[in-house]
């Protein structure tokens, strides 16, 4: 591409109203332009990167025999009524009515449409398992679109859907796709962390999220210092949780909603307090607060007058009636019951405690500030047979961007939409199903968050809008510079290298800044001074490697650099 014929759209100044580095750099580098809140145009530079991301995803999915299809954006509402998501999906669902008063949703995801397709296209067990995928624009009516393409109304997703005769087959494919995801992110050089996650509105049991670790993100992850494997997803979606909270609980608790924590019940953090409900001597309930590494010592507890004898734990039903949640998520905040705190919790700071909402905890809770210290007693033993819990474990929080989410949906949608197959024995059974998303537009923001410096974006050769920039000095003044530049431009193209040739005759400083801002990984600078010695100056955007290369070697040098990209290029991680 000759720069004169290209549509750069770069911005010299930092644009206003950007809330993340990636948002700012994508605007400045001429990748995107805002049309309305959460709605962006992809300019040529952005689209080139987008297509490369899609290409890698396609290649890896095709390798595992996934087949691409293209599904409608307009989805008839009755399908969403069948799946019972039309009213429960939430306000993010964009609804539209046509001139004949038929109702549709603008697809935020395609489980219904895919299951409906399978209902008619798959007859027998012989045609299963199958993985289909789509790379398309989807929609979500975000209440507060932000972070550029990270949280937008209109975004591009890769969504894959698999169908199976049984759960074993689903599980096998699920982990095949899990591994394909890791290969995809590895090829893109994204520093990623996979986390066992909540299935939420999608349904099913098992799911995993893939998070790109960044300095700017819309998620938080807790890591234990011991291992990545105890990573826990924190959700700092304040408004969202406040809403949830308001709907299901009383006013009192709003005070602390900003500390709400979403995490897996199976991944408790050392610094958390659990509450146990027992009957008191007036036949109502009392909450016992203990360090979650400890257990109640019934003998010690029985000594307290206030406790009913024999010691009677609240049943699961009683707990639900009182708190609205399952036992593992209960906590004192907002509950109007007497409390006793074990000595083990007095010194705790910034602790985690149940929020009385399933799967949710508060974090960063402190005595006095968030919760009055109740009566203290000695009612516990340390669990001594579990060495893990005896160690004091530190954890830290990092920001992240969710770029993938995979789900074992099992029979949720096939039952609702009545999608069956004929078994081996001639029986009709419901299809098992998995679904697997990658946020393509979010990936690009994530990669930028991981790869930038004060000059701009730093692309690797695989994702760069152009792999090489030819930057001539005084192009119009020197016929030698012009000839060498033109000849290299042709030769690089012949070698299938994507090259931008800056033929605009700009001042060198202006030209360098723009190419650095866009993040072209390999630059060759053509100056009369070097040509005299039969040399070319090479500059790497990734590691500031600066070399003088003989003109005759430059093509081989670049071909070599680029073809070895996936193995040798350093991962330039900003975080």
Q: Which residues bind a copy of itself (CB under 8 A)?
A: 5-7, 9, 33, 35-37, 39-44, 46-47, 50, 65, 67-76, 91, 94-96, 98-100, 102, 104, 106, 113, 116-117, 120-121, 130, 132, 137, 139, 141, 143, 153-154
Compute CA 459 distance to the chain's CA centroid, rounded to the nearest angstrom.
20
3-state secondary structure 193-262: EEEECCCHHHCCCCEEEEEEEECCCCEEEEEECCCHHHCEEECCCHHHHHHHHHHHCCHHHHHHHHHEEE
Which alpha helices (DSSP H) does 215-363 contain, by range?
A: 238-248, 298-302, 316-323
Q: Is the link from the previous residue into 330 a cis peptide, with omega within 30 of 0?
A: no
State which residue, 51 or 84, has the beta carbon closest to a copy of itself: 51
Cα separation, 323 vs 357, in Å, equals: 8
Residue 358 structure tokens: 């399933």
As measured in angstroms, the least distance from the Cβ of 163 to a copy of itself is: 11
Helix (H), strand (E) at residue 399: strand 395-410
Nearest to 334 by CA among 240, 241, 248, 249: 249
As measured in angstroms, the least distance from the Cβ of 91 to a copy of itself is: 5
State which residue, 68 or 427, has the beta carbon closest to a copy of itself: 68
State which residue, 123 or 250, has the beta carbon closest to a copy of itself: 123
Residue 500 structure tokens: 């931008």
CA atoms within 13 A on the CB side of 253: 26
As measured in angstroms, the least distance from the Cβ of 505 to a copy of itself is: 12
- Say which DSSP state 147 is in: T
Beta-carbon contacts of residue 176 (< 8 Å; ≥ 6 apart): 64
As measured in angstroms, the least distance from the Cβ of 36 to a copy of itself is: 5
Cα separation, 245 vs 265, in Å, equals: 19
CA distances from 240 to 144, 235, 298, 397, 572 (A): 10, 10, 40, 20, 34
As measured in angstroms, the least distance from the Cβ of 225 to a copy of itself is: 42
Contact 191, 380 (CB under 8 A): no
State which residue, 70 or 396, has the beta carbon closest to a copy of itself: 70
As measured in angstroms, the least distance from the Cβ of 47 to a copy of itself is: 5
Which alpha helices (DSSP H) does 293-410 contain, by range?
A: 298-302, 316-323, 387-390
State which residue, 154 or 270, has the beta carbon closest to a copy of itself: 154
State which residue, 48 or 300, has the beta carbon closest to a copy of itself: 48
As measured in angstroms, the least distance from the Cβ of 49 to a copy of itself is: 11
State which residue, 137 or 543, has the beta carbon closest to a copy of itself: 137
As measured in angstroms, the least distance from the Cβ of 423 to a copy of itself is: 19
Compute CA 290 distance to the chain's CA centroid, rounded to the nearest angstrom.
34
Q: At what angle do helices 551-563 and 479-494 cross, to 10 degrees?
A: 40
State which residue, 131 or 147, has the beta carbon closest to a copy of itself: 131
Contact 269, 220 (CB under 8 A): no
Name the region of 229 (left: φ>0; alpha: ψ -120 to 50; beta: rest).
Answer: alpha
Nearest to 193 by CA among 159, 222, 236: 222
As measured in angstroms, the least distance from the Cβ of 355 to a copy of itself is: 26
As measured in angstroms, the least distance from the Cβ of 496 to a copy of itself is: 14
Which residues is 394 bridged to in the sheet?
none
State which residue, 253 or 432, has the beta carbon closest to a copy of itself: 432
As measured in angstroms, the least distance from the Cβ of 105 to a copy of itself is: 10
State which residue, 75 or 460, has the beta carbon closest to a copy of itself: 75
Cα separation, 59 vs 79, in Å, equals: 31
- Say which DSSP state 124 is in: B
State which residue, 15 or 338, has the beta carbon closest to a copy of itself: 15
């Amino acid at each position: 591409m000759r720069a004169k014929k290209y549509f750069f759209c770069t911005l010299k100044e930092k644009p206003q109203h950007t809330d993340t580095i990636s948002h700012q750099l994508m605007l400045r580098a001429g990748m995107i332009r805002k049309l309305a809140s959460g709605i962006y145009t992809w300019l040529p530079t952005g689209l080139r990167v987008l297509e490369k991301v899609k290409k890698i995803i396609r290649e890896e999915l095709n390798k595992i025999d996934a087949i691409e299809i293209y599904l409608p954006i307009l989805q008839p509402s009755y399908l969403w009524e069948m799946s019972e998501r039309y009213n429960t999906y939430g306000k993010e669902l964009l609804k539209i009515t046509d001139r004949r008063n038929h109702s549709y949703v603008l697809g935020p995801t395609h489980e219904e449409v895919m299951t409906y397709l399978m209902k008619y296209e798959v007859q027998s067990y012989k045609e299963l398992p199958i993985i289909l995928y789509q790379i398309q624009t989807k929609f979500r009516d975000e209440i507060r679109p932000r972070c550029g393409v990270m949280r937008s109304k209109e975004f591009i997703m890769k969504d894959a859907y698999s169908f199976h005769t049984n759960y074993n087959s689903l599980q096998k494919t699920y982990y095949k796709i899990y591994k394909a995801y890791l290969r995809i992110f590895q090829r893109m050089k994204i520093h990623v962390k996979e986390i066992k996650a909540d299935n939420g509105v999608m349904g099913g049991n098992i799911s995993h999220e893939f998070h790109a670790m960044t300095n700017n993100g819309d998620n938080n992850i807790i890591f234990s210092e011991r291992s990545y494997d105890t990573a826990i997803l924190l959700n700092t979606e304040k408004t969202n949780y406040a809403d949830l909270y308001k709907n299901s609980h009383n006013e009192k608790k709003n005070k602390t909603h900003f500390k709400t924590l979403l995490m897996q019940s199976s991944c408790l953090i050392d610094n958390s307090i659990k509450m146990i409900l027992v009957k008191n001597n007036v036949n109502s309930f009392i909450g016992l607060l203990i360090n979650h590494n400890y257990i109640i010592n019934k003998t010690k507890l029985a000594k307290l007058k206030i406790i009913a004898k024999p010691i009677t734990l609240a049943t699961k039903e009683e707990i639900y009636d009182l708190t609205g949640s399952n036992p593992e998520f209960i906590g004192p905040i907002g509950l109007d019951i007497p409390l006793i705190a074990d000595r083990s919790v007095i010194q705790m700071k910034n602790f985690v405690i149940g929020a009385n909402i399933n799967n949710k905890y508060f974090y960063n809770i402190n005595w006095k500030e968030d919760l009055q210290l109740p009566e203290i007693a000695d009612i516990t033993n340390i669990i001594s047979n579990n060495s893990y819990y005896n160690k004091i474990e530190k954890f830290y929080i990092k920001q992240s961007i969710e770029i993938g989410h995979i789900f074992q949906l099992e029979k949720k949608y096939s039952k609702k939409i009545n999608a069956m197959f004929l078994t081996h024995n001639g029986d009709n059974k419901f299809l098992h199903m998995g679904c697997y998303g990658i946020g393509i537009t979010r990936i690009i923001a994530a990669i930028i968050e991981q790869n930038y410096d004060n000059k701009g974006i730093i692309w690797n050769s695989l994702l760069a809008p152009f792999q090489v920039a030819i930057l001539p000095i005084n192009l119009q003044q020197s016929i030698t510079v012009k000839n060498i530049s033109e000849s290299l431009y042709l030769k690089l193209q012949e070698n299938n290298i994507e090259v931008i040739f800056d033929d605009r005759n700009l001042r060198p400083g202006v030209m360098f800044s723009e190419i650095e801002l866009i993040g072209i990984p390999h630059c060759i600078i053509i100056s009369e001074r070097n040509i005299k010695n039969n040399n070319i100056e090479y500059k790497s955007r990734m590691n500031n490697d600066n070399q003088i290369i003989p003109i005759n070697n430059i093509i081989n040098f670049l071909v070599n650099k680029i073809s070895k990209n996936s193995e040798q290029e350093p991962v330039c991680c900003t975080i």
